Amino acid sequence: MFFSFPALLALLALSALSVAAPSNPKVVSMDVSKKTYLGSVKGRPGVYISTYISVGTPPQSFEVSFDTGSSDLWIPAVGDDQTGGPGLFNPQASSTFKSLGTSFNAAYVGGTAQGYWVTDNVNAAGLSLSNLQLGAVSNMQDQKQGILGVSFKQVEMSVRNGQPQYYNFPFSAKEQGFIDHVLYSLHFDGPHSPDGTFLLGGIDHAKYSGDLHYYNVANPSAGPQINFKSLVLDGHELDFNLPVTLDSGSLAIAFPDTQFRAIGSGLNLTNYNKDMGLYYIDCQAEISVDFKFDGLTISANSSSLVLPMGFFSGDTTDPSCVLGVQNSALYESPNDAVLGEPFLKNAYVVYDLEDYSIGLAPAVYTDKSDVQAVSRTL
């Protein structure tokens, strides 16, 4: 999904990357940790998960935003009037670079990225993918770094621009033998922990309680979107019944105006920041929220829902706090609903790109691990 929220802090950095142990040769494990970034993503100061990749031969290193809601990898590249520089891909310096001769155009909320499609070798977290298709971008609007999108093929910019689908990063990982089934899972070490784990090709069964509940993604062209049933605020249930996107790149949860205001009313919040689309809340407030899906409830509390306003405004000296739920009316897609980090920190989430489904279960915060590669339909 092409939905981002203003924010300054917090963004999850995929660091200390490593391949899974030899006993699980078809799972790639990536550690995640929070970091502060003063730039922008998708055209706005924003929250994003970042990771480091290298492109070309010899390899050129880049930090890119890891995005579960988009599907393309693109990196800032040398333009016609440039000779290179830090953070810019130089095609002439790569012996494995090839231009595909077609334009790359990406449009995000508040920003654009324009360049051309290429293929080259890409390395990330032990994956050495040859001839991966990606965008080389020389014209970026308010964008400081590239994006590694890992969503469905139907979300690829090539499709949106009338070009054929291609093997993006996760599908190339299967096509080139690194994983057996195109899925990944995401888990955090605690509701307010800076650390977590991203698994490509596998599931860690020690990191959730009960059974994983799988929900159909009816429209993969809209990204990882499933039906959301209701929200329970301190025991009072609000019926929603609307599609929501599980977006790891968002610091906030977002709902359309009607549902957003119902949440504010349910928590007796009246102080509203119209410019940011957020309700102020006492920094010491104790609240509980249950997210209900068909047959499943994911609970969250104040530690993941009461956030510093500076996360969104960029003013780290602001002592006020806000509820981590934002009004979708602030954006170009006012009817979209998103479950971002405040929800995801309380859930174990499996994104199955082959079977068009999302798996959910309450998160368990433990040092134990039971990682299994997935090789068939779940």
Where does the pLDDT of residue 87 fall: very low under 50, low under 70, confident under 90, or very high at 90 and above? confident
Which whole number is the average pLDDT over 91-107?
93
pLDDT of residue 48: 64
Where does the pLDDT of residue 378 fall: very low under 50, low under 70, confident under 90, or very high at 90 and above? low
Among 3.55.50.30, 3.30.2130.10, 3.40.1190.20, 2.40.70.10, name the CATH number for the domain at 11-184. Answer: 2.40.70.10
pLDDT of residue 127: 85
Residue 296 has pLDDT above 50, yes or no: yes
Which whole number is the average pLDDT over 30-42?
54
Report the DSSP pairing between strands 127-140 and 73-76. Answer: parallel
pLDDT one-digit tens code per residue, 131-186 = 999 999 988 765 567 888 999 999 998 887 888 899 999 999 999 999 999 999 99
In the CATH scheme, what is the homologous superfamily, with its name and number, of domain 202-373?
A: Acid Proteases (2.40.70.10)
- Listed range (1-5, 46-50, 189-193, 210-214) with the worst mean pLDDT: 1-5
pLDDT of residue 34: 58
Residues of the chain with CATH 2.40.70.10: 11-184, 202-373
Report the DSSP pairing between strands 296-301 and 236-246. Answer: unpaired
pLDDT one-digit tens code per residue, 158-171 = 887 888 899 999 99
pLDDT of residue 223: 92
Residue 82 has pLDDT above 90, yes or no: no
Torsion from C-alpha of 145, 148, 151, 156, nearest 10 degrees:
70
Q: What is the DSSP letter of 349?
A: E
Residue 232 has pLDDT above 90, yes or no: yes
The encoded tokens of residue 145 equal: 């770094």
Active site residues: 67, 247
Mean pLDDT of the chain: 85
pTM of the model as a whole:
0.87
Burial class (CB in 10 A: 0-12, 13-18, 19+), 184: buried
**285 vs 127 pLDDT, higher one:** 285
d(CA 278, CA 275): 8
Share of residues in the chain with pLDDT > 90 (%): 59
**Helix or strand (DSSP H, E) at 157:** helix 157-160
